[in-house]
Every structure is written in C-alpha cells, then in structure tokens.
Structure 1
Amino acid sequence: MILSVSQRCDIPAYFSDWFYQRIKEGFADVRAPFNPQLVHRVNLSRENVDLIVFMSKNPLPMMAKLDQLNGYNCCFQITITPYTHDIEKNVADKRLIIEAVRTLSRRYGRHAVIVRYDPILLNQRYTIDYHMKAFQRLCEQLSSTIDTIIFSFVDEYKNTRAHQAELKLLPISESQMLLLARGMAQIAESYGIRLQTCGEKIDLQHLNIQKGSCISSKLLADYGIHSAYPLAKTRGDGCDCLAYTDLGAYNCCAHGCSYCYANYDEAKVKMNLHQHDPMSTMLIGHLKPEDKLVDKRQKVKQTVLF
C-alpha cells in the first residue's frame, strides 16, 4: 500500500499527534469523502505499507517524533511557494520550512525530500519576473539538499473562484507558461536540480522538464520498490499518480490558502477543526453507530521481474 499523508489536508502541520497515535495503534479509519457513512479501516503496519508520502507546507510539528517512523519508507513532498500572508494566511515562515527540508534531507537522503513550487499563479504582485527571482533564491538555498522540484500552474477550483477578489488572478497563457518554464528550467539546471511538472497537460519535455506525478513508479524505484501499482481511479486530467490510500479529509486545513482545492467551505473548516480528537481513530470526529466499517484492501500489485 502507498499511503498519502495527505493530499486532502496538511496532517504533518496540524494533526501530527493524531498520526503518530494511529501509527502506534497500527490502523486508521478514513471516512469516504463522497459516501460519508462508508468508513475504511486502513492497516498501517510496516508490512502493509510500501511507502508513506507526506505532503505538507510545514513538517516542523512532526519532526520531533520521526523515530516512530523507523522501518517505514518515507517520502516528504514539501511545498514552498513565494507567496505571503495575503494568499497563504497561516503558513509558517518559509525560512523555517527551508531549514526543515535540510534536516529531513540529512536524515532520509536527497531522494526522499521533494520540494513543490506550486501552484504558480499570476497577478499584479506575483509576476513572471517575481517568480523567476523567487525560484532562483529557492534553488540557491536548496541545491545541496534536494534533487527534484515539482511545479504546476494554478487551476480554477471553487475556492479560487470564491477568492477571486483577493487573489486578483490574471489568466496564464500558454506562451507565458512556456516563458516561465524555460526560465525555471535554466535556473534549475544551473543548480543541478531536476524539474518536473505535476498534473499538467502542457508538454514541456523539450525544455528538459519531466512530465511526472506526485506518486510514480520512478518514486517507488528510488526506494527499491519494484511493484506495478495501477493508476489512481480518482485522478484528474493530466494526473498519472499511482493508486494510493489517503488518510486525510477535505475542509480541515488551517493554512487558509486562497487557492486551495481541498478547502472550499470555510464554515465547515472551522467545524471540522473543532471536531478533531487526537485520540480518535479517524481524523475528524468519531465512528458513529450507523457507519459501515470495512477493511481497506491493499491494491492488487504485481511484482515486476524484468
């Protein structure tokens, strides 16, 4: 099983105590987001989990207890953008996050820590020139620490539409995408960093930018895992992620990013955060008598022999 922690919310930043308690007890219950009475019980044993992929804007709260993850393969995908609190209201100081990336890299290796520079959005403040300068600073600070940076362009979701007035988004044309990508590719290459897209329809391979995904066969191979997972069934256009199990929930992240696709109901975010119990088997709330509890089966996989 590939475990995503999480593409729905920032568990390392806000729910690390809950996560470590679930690791200790060896299972977690995950409510199906679009069938809320269905709850999957996920086996978190080391024997059942091939790889844990942490996705976070702030891994600092989980780092004091990393010893509890000994025996697991861990990948950390850390988002570092150039935006300030006008767009990312509650995200921690990026200087602290950069230092956290360095610490994780020293512990787990360069291959295990991937930085995400996404989403790229444009407005009167965050211009192409702004991104070029910010990206160069990022590469300069992390060139001895990481191998890969993943980027993508902002997509229109319910939340971005709701915050259009504050975001003041400008449309990104294909020519602007190419201009940004070409500049970023040159910068990344000069620092020995591999650049990769995520979930993008535009093909940038002629710029030496790999077309990739968050969770890929190549990522598994970096950990010596040579198994053929199917593609995720719920992936969107342009997404080639392998099948994974996500421990998170929507509408429960307190970062308050105006572009977020996973937080689209601010009232529900507050309610869900209030219902979080670090000792519960599930991230938000508790099991209910009417819930249908089923064991989450490990995705069928076939060992690759050649």
Structure 2
Amino acid sequence: MPAEKVEILTDNGTTVKAIAPVIISASRSTDIPAYFPKWFATRFNGGRGYVKWFNPFNQKPVFVSFEKTKVIVFWTKNPKPLIPYLPQLDAAGVHYYFHFTLNDYQQENLEPNVPSLESRIQTFKELASLLGPERIVWRFDPVLFTKTLTPRELATRIFKISKKLKGCTNRLVFSFIDIKVYKKVQRNLLKYSEHFASQYDSTSICEAEPSAEQIEEFAGYLSKIRAYWKERGWNLEICACAEKFDLSHHGILPSKCIDAELMLKVFGENPELTDYLTKAPARTPFELDHLDLFNANRVEMKKIVTIKKDPGQREECGCVKSKDIGMYNTCLHGCVYCYANTSPESTLKNFERRKNHPLAESIFIPDFPEA
C-alpha cells in the first residue's frame, strides 16, 4: 500500500504534496539519534512536522509528512544524544523502538568514532531502564571474519557483552558483511588494510565474507550462548538479518527489523496501528468487557499481520514497508565497513555544509540544483 499523500506548508511558505507514511525508519542510511537528535525532534513535533528526503540515485526531493506516523524505528550506535528528546515523542503519542548496534571492534579500530564499549553498554542499560527490553533490539552487525577475528573470537566477544546486557533486551540480531555488493565497502576496507598492514593484507580484509564452514561454526557458538542464558532465565532470541542461508537447525530465525509482529505485541493497544498492520479493526473496549460478563472465558482476538513486506528491500529482508528519512554520506562514526558513506572526506564535507542550517528540512544540504 503506497503511503497516503497530504498537503503541507513548507518552511518557506509553499504548499506542496507530501507522502505521509505510518512507519518511519530513522535510519538505515545514517545515525540520526547520535548526530541529528535535535534536528529530528524539531522537525517531528517542533512546529515543522515534515522533512525533505533526496533520492540518492536521481537527487529528486521527496517531502515526508509525520501527520500519519504511528511508529518510528530508530537505528543507532549511540542513542544517548536522543534520550533527552524522547519525552517529546511520548507526549506526541507516537510509538518507537530501537535497533542498537553494539559491536566490539575496539581492538581493530573498525568503528573509530563510536564511544567506548563500556560507555555504549551503559547507555544500553539506561535506555532499557526507560523503555523496557522489548523496545530495544541488540544488533551485532556486521559480523566480519579475518585471520584474527575468528568465529570463536567474535562469539566470545558477544558472550562477554551479553553478560552485561542480561535482561536488557529480548533479541540479538546479526548479519554478515556483504563486501561484493558494495564497491565503496571494498574501497574503504582496502584503505583500512593499508593502515593496518601488519594485521591485515588487502586480500584477507577484502575477502572477509564468511565461508559456509565459518557460518556454521559461528551459528553453533551463538546457539550455545542462547542455551546458556535460557538455563539462567533469560530467553534471548537470536536472529539473522537478510541472509540467504537457513540456520533454523541452530534455533536462529530470520530477522524482521521493521517488525509488524513486534509492533502489534508492544503497541497493539493503538487501534489505528492495528488496523493498518492487520487490515482488520481491533476489538473495541466494549467487546472486550462483554467477554468478561458472568465470568465467561476471556478470548483475545488473534491479530494476524497482513501488511506486505517492503518491496524496496532485498528478497531476504522480512521488513514491512516504511519510509527511511536518512541520507548517505552524513554519519561521522567512520566505520570502515560502512556501505552508506563513500569516504570520510565526503561525510565531513556534508557535515560542514549543514552547520549553517542545523534545522533545515533535510539532513543533507545538496550542492546541486534541485529538480
């Protein structure tokens, strides 16, 4: 179902048509909570109510209204800067949950500008205390194997983190690095290997996609981690994101990051959201009360997701349709495996360009004439 269109008044006083999606992704393309929290809060409910997004392939602008938005899915490696703005979202009545990517690549310096591991773990705990474990998904993403980053080594690091996150989340999601699809990833990893020649050579780092044997070994370790915690009262679900192989024999299921079932479970009291996701109206409070008359057995209506998966994502992706409002070449974490940044130089250039327009319609301030 295409997003509904509404009329909006832009910052310069022009009336334009905007799409009005029910679900916003913020964002697969950049880290909005870490670098653009005030921008997002201001654009969302600070009197603006819309953003402008540029298609990365043809640079055409698209106006995105928040008028119909019911759920925001945040993706971040550092949500701490956004936390002070969350009460504004709560007051606006919008639902949200987080994908918190918490990796441990400190020794390798693969994520040079993220806070320390201990700081990120502490932020994770703080966010969990505010939202509860169902609204925070732990991502270890991407998984990258080299001669020193073996399946056993990475699984050991994940287990060490899990010991500090017990009870703070219900789900761990991982995915393997996809180097062959993204030329910019190959190029950035090659630059990285030149700086760390003693540890990596250009062949090993640029061919770091996992073998079938490594995948099986790693999945086996994750299965043991899940079993370990289950015995100790923590039912940590482990999922693989957009991968072609079947790991169900290890108890690892495909992930749905924009997850309609999770939304129904956590935000199902919102009848408009339920109707959108299931195409069937939620049962009214009167009907629910009526089931309790004369001690009748209470039967909850089973809510079945009928909304289709997002056709804009790859075949293996299980996400339902959302509108992502992020832009490439705007994240300053500097992760060497990143598919969203062409180079650190291009990102810094864009960041400098927007300093004079911190609350502009778009994260990205184009240097090209708009169509």
**TM-score, normalised by the number of residues in structure 1:** 0.88
Residue identity opposite 1:34 in structure 2 = F
Give the residue type in structure 1 aligned to 2:212: E
Aligned to 1:180: 218
Secondary structure (helix, strand or coil) at the match of 1:87 reads: coil
State the match for 2:86 in structure 1. 66
Superposition deviation, residue 78 in structure 1: 0.4
- Cα 1:272–1:152 change in 2 (3 A) is same
74, 87, 99: which one aligns with 1:54:
74
Higher relative contact order (CA 8 A, sep 6+): 1
Higher alpha-carbon Rg: 2
- Distance in 1, matches of 2:136 and 2:333, equals 21
Deviations 1:169-225 (A, max 9, x none): 244211110110111121023222110111111111111111122112222222214
1:254-265 equivalences in 2 (<5 Å):
254-265=332-343
Is 1:41 paired with 2:63?
A: yes
For the 8 Å contact 1:54–1:75, the answer to whether it is kept is yes
| Aligned counterpart, 1:101 | 124
Query: Is the CA contact 1:115–1:150 (under 8 Å) kept in the aligned structure 2?
Result: yes
Q: 1 CA distance for matches of 2:366 and 2:51?
A: 11
Cα separation, 2, equivalents of 1:264 and 1:31: 16
Tell me if the contact between 1:139 and 1:188 (Cα under 8 Å) persists in the aligned partners.
no
The amino acid that maps onto 1:184 is L
2:325 aligned residue (228, 234, 247): 247
Question: Are 1:209 and 2:252 an aligned pair?
Answer: yes
Which of 101, 107, 110 is equivalent to 2:133?
A: 110
Quick one: distance in 2 between partners of 1:203 and 1:290?
45
Show structure 2 runs of 5+ residues with no match. Answer: 1-21, 194-199, 230-234, 278-305
| Correspondence 1:129 to 2:129 | no
Partner of 1:303: none
Q: Which residue of 2 aligns with 1:299?
A: none
Match of 1:281 in 2: 361
Structure 1 partner of 2:232: none
Report the more deviating stretch, 178-187 or 188-197: 188-197
Q: 2:240 aligned with 1:200, yes or no? A: no
- 1:3-31 C-alpha deviation (Å, 9 max, x unpaired): 11100001111111111110112111111
1:236-278 Cα deviation digits (max 9, x unpaired): 2421221111110011111111111111233321221112222
Does the Cα contact within 8 Å between 1:280 and 1:286 map onto a contact in 2? Answer: no
Distance 1:151 1:55 in 2: 14
Over 3 Å counting, the alpha-carbon distance change for 1:205 and 1:18 in structure 2 is same
Distance 1:53 1:140, change over 3 A: same
Find the partner of 1:150 among 173, 180, 183: 173
Shift of the 63–159 alpha-carbon distance from structure 1 to 2, 3 Å rule, reads same
The amino acid across from 1:201 in the alignment is K
| Shift of residue 287, structure 1, vs aligned partner | 10
Q: List per-residue Cα deviations over 1:113-146 (Å, max 9, x = no partner).
A: 0010111001133222211210111111111111
1:3 equivalenced with 2:24 (yes/no): yes
Identity of matched residues, %? 29
With over 3 angstroms needed to count, the CA separation of the structure-2 counterparts of 1:255 and 1:279, relative to structure 1, is same
SS of the residue corresponding to residue 13 of structure 1 reads helix
TM-score calculated relative to the size of structure 2 = 0.73
Task: Give the secondary structure class of the aligned counterpart of 1:215.
Answer: coil
- Residue identity opposite 2:147 in structure 1: Q
Secondary structure class of the residue paired with 2:97: strand
Which consecutive unaligned segments of at least 5 residues does structure 1 have? 292-306
Question: Which whole-Å CA distance do the structure 2 matches of 1:180 and 1:254 have between them?
Answer: 30
Over 6 Å off, 4+ runs: 286-289
Q: CA RMSD in A?
A: 1.9
Counterpart contact for 1:158–1:264, Cα < 8 Å: no
Provide the C-alpha distance between the structure 1 equivalents of 2:75 and 2:227, rounded to a whole number of angstroms: 24
Which residue number in structure 2 is paired with residue 298 of structure 1? none
The SS at the match of 1:152 is strand
Equivalent residue for 1:159, pick from 184, 187, 197: 184
Larger mean CA deviation between 71-80 and 262-271 belongs to 262-271
Cα pair distance change 1:21/1:127, threshold 3 Å: same
Q: 2:41 aligns with which of 20, 38, 41?
A: 20
**Counterpart Cα distance in 2 of 1:110 and 1:59:** 15
Q: Match of 1:90, as an amino acid?
A: N
In the alignment, structure 1 residue 218 sits paired with structure 2 residue 241: no
Give the match's secondary structure for 2:130: helix
Q: Which amino acid aligns with 1:83?
A: Y
